[in-house]
Structures are given as C-alpha cells and as structure tokens.
C-alpha cells in the first residue's frame, strides 16, 4: 500500500517536527544517561513509528519502501540512538515475520511490534560467526514438540529490551548456510540469558548485548518459514535493512551539513565568516554532493524494490556508499568546526563516533563489496 501524497507529506512533516522539537534537544541527555526517556518512546508509539514497515492489516502504517526511506531521512536528522529504539521493529526484528511468517505468527506478533508494545530483535551474529554468518554454530535440536536451543549470539541490538528474538540456528549437519533455520523465540522463555549492555564507541542510548541459549525449549511452531531456509530469510531481511540504514546515513549527513554551514556562517576568522573561504566551501560542496548522490541511490533502489525487482545489489551499493559517505561528511564537519568540532559542546564529535557503526553493522563495507561483486559476476556468467 502507498499513502496519498498529502498523507505522506503530513507524516513527513510530523516526523520532522518531532525530530527537531523533541529529539534534538534531548541528544546530549541521552548520550550522557545511555537511556531514551520512556515518555519519548511513548510518543514514538503514538506516532506509529514502530510500525512504519508493518502491513496495515497487522496494525502498522504499511509504508512502501520509498515512503519508509523518506521517513528514515527525517529520523536520521538526530542522534542515531533514537532511530535504533524503533529500528529493529521496522527492520530486522519484524521483517522475517512479514516475509516468512505463518498467518498465526503474523497475527500473534506483528500488531504488538507495530504498536511498540513488544520489541523485536534479530539474533544472527555469534562470537565466531560475524561476516561469515553462514558458519553459525547455535543449534536447535528437535525433542518431541519442542526445539532445544543452545548457543550464544553477540552484539544483538535491543536485546536488553526485546520481547521476541528472530534466532538463526543450525537444525541439520549440512555445513554452511544450507543447514540454518529461523525461529521466533519469546524472551521470557527459560534458558535465555541476556548479557550486560555492551560499552560502545558511540550511539549511547541504543543497546546491544550477548544473548545465550542454554537448553532453551522453544515450541515446534516457533519455526519461522520452512526448515533450513533461515539463512535466505536473513539475507532478504538484510537486503531491506541495508536500504533503511542507507537512508538514515543520508539524514545524518544532511543534519551535519546543516550544522557545519550554520557554524561556518557564524564563526569569524581573518575578519570574516569562515564560510567565505573557498577551502571551507569546498568541504561543504563535497559533502553536499555526496549526500545528494546517496539520497538519489536510496530513492532509486527503494522505487525499484517497490516495483517488485530484486535489489540485493543496489541495496548493497547504497549501504556501501551511504555509510562511507556519512563517515567522510562527519569528518569534514569536525574539520569545519575546528577545535569546536573536537570538544563535546557542539555534538559534532558525538556524531563522528556515532556514524562509525554504519560501516560495520548489517554487513560491513567489505561484505557489501563482496555482495556487489558476487552478483555482478553471477549475472555475467
Ligand atoms: N536474498 C535471497 N537469498 C540469498 C541472498 C539474498 N540477498 N543472499 C544469499 N542468498 C542465498 C543464496 O542464493 C544461497 O542459497 P542457495 O544455496 O539455495 O543458492 C544461500 O543464501 C547462501 O548464499 P551464499 O553462498 O552467498 O552465502 P555465503 O555463506 O557465501 O555468505 C554473505 C554470503 C557473506 C553475503 C553473508 O554471509 C552476509 O551477508 N554476511 C554478513 C552478515 C551480516 O550482515 N551481518 C550483520 C548482522 S545483522 S546486524
């Protein structure tokens, strides 16, 4: 489903106002306390932000991909920690259910994920299986009407808050990706241990932790999709997630360009605002050009996906370019701010640390390069 252009404009304006009036003023507090206030989360729920990508039939807003990335551009214009609170419910924590869930699973989980009553989390990565996700060793062994799960997952976003995990586990001795199945595991089950929150470089307020399964008995009907199709589900979910993350990178870049421009117009050196110096202008122009290129890539990929095309390559191109781009834009933002960019008061140094994650999670830049090249070569053969 897609919204009328008036409804979309209204949604974008509402999100933009929420970001600038409610979230931006709280950025420093959230970074200091490592906590997004409950009242803000409640407002996000009221705005429907947990269910952007969940079909209307299950209580979400049912946005198409183009609409979703346009909302993500707006959400990107503040600390990424805020987006992370609702990111998994719109992406990796719900889309496996949307794509591969049974009707009963959809009815059970999606309305609660859409309302934000339940937080969804995606448990793929393991201590010894990061980029090589197909080598994961968590096992699920059928025992009567239950699967028994054993293994440890690492760096799991929103694990401390999660109500349901999409867990990828090996159900056969077939090596590699082919032996992996997906499960919907309720966080309250016995045998699940959530580690302490990871201490991270940035994005304070967004939480990750280890999740261990110790003889955790999961009902047989928690299997998501057909047995041993879990890896493919994970890849499809990540194709989509990578595009959403690319859109967030664009939003952050645009925010940083705005902040840099404003600072350069106020800051005077050699008797005039530094924005009048061409070396500053060059940095602004490079950042604007790259952010615009990423915006175009994201929108074009989203539109292709909405037309039903497979966009694995384009999503990887977008994630690769946009996440590297925002790193360069943040670096230039620090440079334009000079000494002020290196101290905490202006927030630019915080963004510089926050954006570093974009080149790593949901597939590193190097994994995006491999996906792009692999698809090119496959098409050529
Ligand atoms: N959509 C649908 N199916 C896909 C797919 C996609 N985008 N990508 C791969 N598959 C399928 C393949 O077609 C293959 O199935 P068949 O054997 O039936 O053909 C299967 O999945 C295995 O694919 P492949 O052989 O490419 O798997 P590899 O083990 O070589 O791994 C990479 C591929 C490296 C791309 C994958 O492991 C990956 O994305 N790693 C990064 C993981 C990641 O992003 N982690 C972040 C954690 S979540 S925040």
* Residues framing ligand 1 (Cβ under 6 A): 122, 124-125, 131, 133-134, 176-177, 231-232, 235-236, 238-239, 312, 361-363, 367, 370-371
Q: Is 64 helix (H, G, I), strand (E, B) or coil?
A: coil
Distance in Å from the first CA to the final CA of the chain? 36
What's the mean per-residue pLDDT of the chain? 97
Residue 309 bears catalytic tag: no
**268 with 27: CB under 8 angstroms?**
no
- Here the tokens at position 347 are 């927030």
CA dihedral (214, 133, 54, 111) in degrees, to 10, reads: 0
Residue 23 has which token pair? 């979230």
The pTM is what? 0.97
The token pair that represents 146 in the structure block: 């239950």
Q: Which 8-state DSSP code applies to residue 196? A: P
Ligand 1 atom at minimal distance to the Cα of residue 130: 45
Hey, which residues does 167 pair with through a beta bridge?
123, 183
Nearest CA to ligand 1 atom 48: 362
CB 10 within 8 A of CB 66: no
> pLDDT tens-digit profile of 251-287?
999 999 999 999 999 999 999 999 999 999 999 999 9
The mean per-residue pLDDT over the stretch 305-318 comes to 97
CATH no., domain 5-115 = 1.10.540.10
Q: Per CATH, which fold does 120-228 belong to?
A: Butyryl-CoA Dehydrogenase, subunit A; domain 2 (2.40.110)
pLDDT tens readout for residues 223-234 = 999 999 999 999
- Measure the CA–CA gap between 323 and 327, rounded to whole angstroms: 6
Cα angle 345-350-351, degrees, rounded to a multiple of 5: 120
Partners of 273 in beta bridges: 268
Distance CA 324, CA 330 (A): 10
What is the residue extent of each domain of the chain? 5-115, 120-228, 232-380
**Topology of the domain covering 232-380:** Butyryl-CoA Dehydrogenase, subunit A; domain 3 (1.20.140)
Over the stretch 26-39, which tens digit does the pLDDT of each residue have?
Answer: 999 999 999 999 99
């Amino acid at each position: 489903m897609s919204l009328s252009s008036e409804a979309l404009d209204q949604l974008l304006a509402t999100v933009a106002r929420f970001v600038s009036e409610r979230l931006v003023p709280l950025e420093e507090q959230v970074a200091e306390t490592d906590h997004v206030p409950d009242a803000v989360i409640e407002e996000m729920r009221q705005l429907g932000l947990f269910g952007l990508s969940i079909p209307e039939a299950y209580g979400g807003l049912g946005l198409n991909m183009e609409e979703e990335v346009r909302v993500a551009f707006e959400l990107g214009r503040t600390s990424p920690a805020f987006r992370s609170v609702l990111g998994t419910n719109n992406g990796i924590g719900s889309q496996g259910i949307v794509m591969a869930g049974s009707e009963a699973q959809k009815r059970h989980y999606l309305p609660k994920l859409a309302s934000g009553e339940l937080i969804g989390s995606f448990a793929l990565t393991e201590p010894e299986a990061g980029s090589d996700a197909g080598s994961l060793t968590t096992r699920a062994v059928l025992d009567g009407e239950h699967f028994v799960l054993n293994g440890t997952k690492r760096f799991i976003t929103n694990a401390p808050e999660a109500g349901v995990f999409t867990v990828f586990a090996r159900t056969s001795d077939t090596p590699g990706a082919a032996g992996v199945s997906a499960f919907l595991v309720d966080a309250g089950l016995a045998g699940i241990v959530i580690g302490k929150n990871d201490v991270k470089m940035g994005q304070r307020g967004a939480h990750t932790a280890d999740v261990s399964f110790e003889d955790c008995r999961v009902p047989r009907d928690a299997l998501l999709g057909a047995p041993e199709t879990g890896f493919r589900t994970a890849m499809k979910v990540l194709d989509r997630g990578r595009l959403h993350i690319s859109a967030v990178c664009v939003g952050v870049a645009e925010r940083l360009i705005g902040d840099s421009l404003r600072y350069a117009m106020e800051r005077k050196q050699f008797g005039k605002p530094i924005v009048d110096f061409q070396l500053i202008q060059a940095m602004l122009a490079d950042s604007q050009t790259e952010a615009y290129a990423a915006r175009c890539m994201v929108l074009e990929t989203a539109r292709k996906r909405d037309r039903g095309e497979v966009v694995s390559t384009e999503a990887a191109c977008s994630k690769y370019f946009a996440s590297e781009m925002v790193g360069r834009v943040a670096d230039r933002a620090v440079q334009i701010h000079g000494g002020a960019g290196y101290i905490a008061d202006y927030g630019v140094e915080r963004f510089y640390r926050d954006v570093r994650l974009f080149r790593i999670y949901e597939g590193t830049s190097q994994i995006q390069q491999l996906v792009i090249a692999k698809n090119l070569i496959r098409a050529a053969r």
